[in-house]
Amino acid sequence: MNRTNKKNADRSVSRIGDDYMIIVMKPSSSEEHINEILRVLQSLGLGAHLSKGSQVTIIGVIGDKRVLNDVPIDLMPGVDKIVPIVESYKLVSKTFKPEASVIDVDGVKIGGKEIVMMAGPCAIENKEQIFQTARAVKKSGAKFLRGGAFKPRTSPYAFQGLEEEGLKLIYEAAHENDLKIVSEVISERTVEIADKYVDVFQIGARNVQNFHLLREVGKAGKPVVLKRGPATTIEEWLNAAEYIVSEGNDKVILCERGIRTFETATRNTLDISAVPVVKAQSHLPIIIDPSHAAGKAQYVIPMAKAAIAAGADGLIVEVHPQPRHALSDASQQLIPEAFDKLCKDISLMAEILEREFKYGD
């Protein structure tokens, strides 16, 4: 889609968000058939999102469908059928894209057969800590190094992160160990700073409905891990993802990290059911953060394994060489030996589940 057409599409999304349908093409349809439909839609002032799967091609139509009343789109060459999308979220809906999306982060694919492990400390504290952690998680099979440089905390007096200096440290540690980087951004300014260092932006639970920030990471075009908020419904979560995708960035990875319930034995209640529900309603991949759900290291491993058994595409786990001395979330971070045991268990589970996970470096 050209830039002008995309702008029209974006304006149409904000203007008539509920007026969305898809044109399902026949398997035998040609590029000429598809391009002709796109031309007709553009001539009518409608936006279009093209989704090509291995079996079928779908054209999402954005705008006032009434302009199509006198245009027999369903009779045009190559068209199979026209289907309205009734969900409030359109582009992340399974109706729009029946096949599961696979997010390719420079060769590491999230959402396919492989189980992807992201691991590292809650916060980047110093060079020794992040380098030691990077070596350990790489040795066990992690593909991503996680670590917070900007730390929004409940108390204004708590450790707030090393900011850009922390990003420089995690960049060095990750590249020395051939790991990708995932780190949280909390504002437009931090998006601009982190863009130079990270492979994947993370939107934390506090910002899942910070719609301005969601649009900013959508415009940035870089893969995004979008965490669910503690009181966010799945529908609200998917609509948050829609904000990112509507800006042209479809590289969104959902992350369940527990919701707030009456239970106090854990920090949050891990909603395992979110995995099959998301997979039924959306084409986006979903990973699990058992650390923030548990709040206690002793519960992290069994919760992580339950998530993989439920069909999660990966895990993001907090690991620290000396958790007792951590500057944030000390009680929920695994020591490297415990993380290694988790990875070994996941590799055994992968065989049973007909998935893939390579344990060890």
Say if CB 215 and CB 170 are below 8 A apart: no
* Higher per-residue pLDDT: 17 or 235: 235
Kindly tell me if the per-residue pLDDT of 94 is higher than 70: yes
Question: Domains, the chain, ranges and CATH?
Answer: 3-84 (3.30.70.1140), 103-352 (3.20.20.70)
How many Cβ atoms from other residues are within 10 Å of residue 138's Cβ? 21
Q: Phi first, then psi: what are they for 228, rounded to 5°?
A: -80, 140
Specify the pLDDT at position 55: 80
Kindly tell me if the per-residue pLDDT of 158 is higher than 80: no
Q: List, in order, residues 6 or more apart from 344 with CB less than 8 Å away.
A: 140, 359
* Higher per-residue pLDDT: 16 or 136: 136
Specify the pLDDT at position 8: 40
Kindly tell me if the per-residue pLDDT of 4 is higher than 60: no
Specify the pLDDT at position 19: 61
Q: Of all helices (H) and strands (E), which one includes residue 158? A: none
Say if CB 262 and CB 269 are below 8 A apart: no
Kindly tell me if the per-residue pLDDT of 284 is higher than 90: yes
Nearest to 144 by CA among 72, 201, 208: 201
Say if CB 177 and CB 134 are below 8 A apart: yes
Picking from 51-65, 252-266, 293-307, 331-345, which range would have the lowest pLDDT averaged per residue?
51-65
Average predicted confidence (pLDDT) for the chain: 92
Picking from 34-48, 203-217, 230-244, which range would have the lowest pLDDT averaged per residue?
34-48
131 pLDDT band, cuts 50/70/90, is very high
12 pLDDT band, cuts 50/70/90, is very low
Kindly tell me if the per-residue pLDDT of 315 is higher than 90: yes
* Higher per-residue pLDDT: 23 or 152: 23
Specify the pLDDT at position 258: 97
Q: Determine the Cα angle at 229 with ends 248 and 197, to 5°.
A: 50
Specify the pLDDT at position 3: 39
Nearest to 260 by CA among 237, 292, 306: 292
Average pLDDT over residues 33-57: 89
Q: Which residue has the tokens 């992690």?
A: 142
3-state secondary structure of 205: helix
Average pLDDT over residues 85-96: 90
226 pLDDT band, cuts 50/70/90, is very high
Average pLDDT over residues 154-182: 92
What percentage of residues in the chain have a pLDDT greater than 90?
80
236 pLDDT band, cuts 50/70/90, is very high
What percentage of residues in the chain have a pLDDT greater than 70?
95
Say if CB 83 and CB 59 are below 8 A apart: no
Specify the pLDDT at position 86: 85
